[in-house]
Amino acid sequence: MKISWYGQAMTLIETLEGLRIVSDPYGEGTGYKVPGLRADMVSVSHDHFDHNAVETLKGSPVLINKEGDREISGVSFRGVSSFHDTEKGAARGLNLIFRIKADNITIVHMGDIGHVIDSDTASLLRPCDILILPVGGIYTVDGDGAFAIVEKLRPSIIIPVHYNTPKNILGLGAADNFIEKFMDVRSGDELVVDRKSLPKMPVVYQLNPLGER
């Protein structure tokens, strides 16, 4: 399996069989280049322009934007309802967390989670091998909130997203307050992983935002 990050919360998962799963595609207005990826499936956490730009994708991807369980071409999705803020959605609305199972690996994409999840929500998402979550604050949890989510889900690999980078123009906070909480931090353009290579201790992969190229 290969995972890439483009900016904001937009990620691409490529399975061993060549299926391409995009989560939270952004549109114009983020500062990043809109990549126009080909996709077989696309998950959307909420209807904000920097997360729901399905029209920018090539192909005819199956849209996953509802709560509940669904299986498509051997890939399973679980949508779990949450909030975009700490006020039960009163400030910014709802947010869907997606648990995605493919290649015998479970990925949890937190979308624009704005609060620390409770134990009931955590139980719907575990076991979690790879956790993709926002860390930049302002519109989502910050580094401390993200770390509290990590403690609840206990993933092997953490991919921080939705934080300030040189080309981001949305005023997000930095990732530093989150990254500094971990001893093993690695970087690169993509994460290539299989079941056997999952680390025993948590590793942060700070991926380069490909939308800046």
Residue closest to 59 by CA, chosen among 27, 37, 34: 37
CB 45 within 8 A of CB 66: no
> pLDDT, tens digit, for every residue of 109-125?
999 999 999 999 999 99
What CATH number is attached to the domain comprising 144?
3.60.15.10
Domain extent at residue 137: 2-212
Domains of the chain: total: 1
Closest CA to 155 of 130, 179, 132, 134: 130
Q: Is 18 left (phi over 0), alpha (psi -120 to 50) or beta?
A: left
Q: Is the dihedral of CA 110, 185, 41, 68 positive or negative?
A: negative
Q: pLDDT grade, residue 167 (50/70/90)?
A: very high
Query: Is 0.85 surpassed by the pTM of this model?
Result: yes
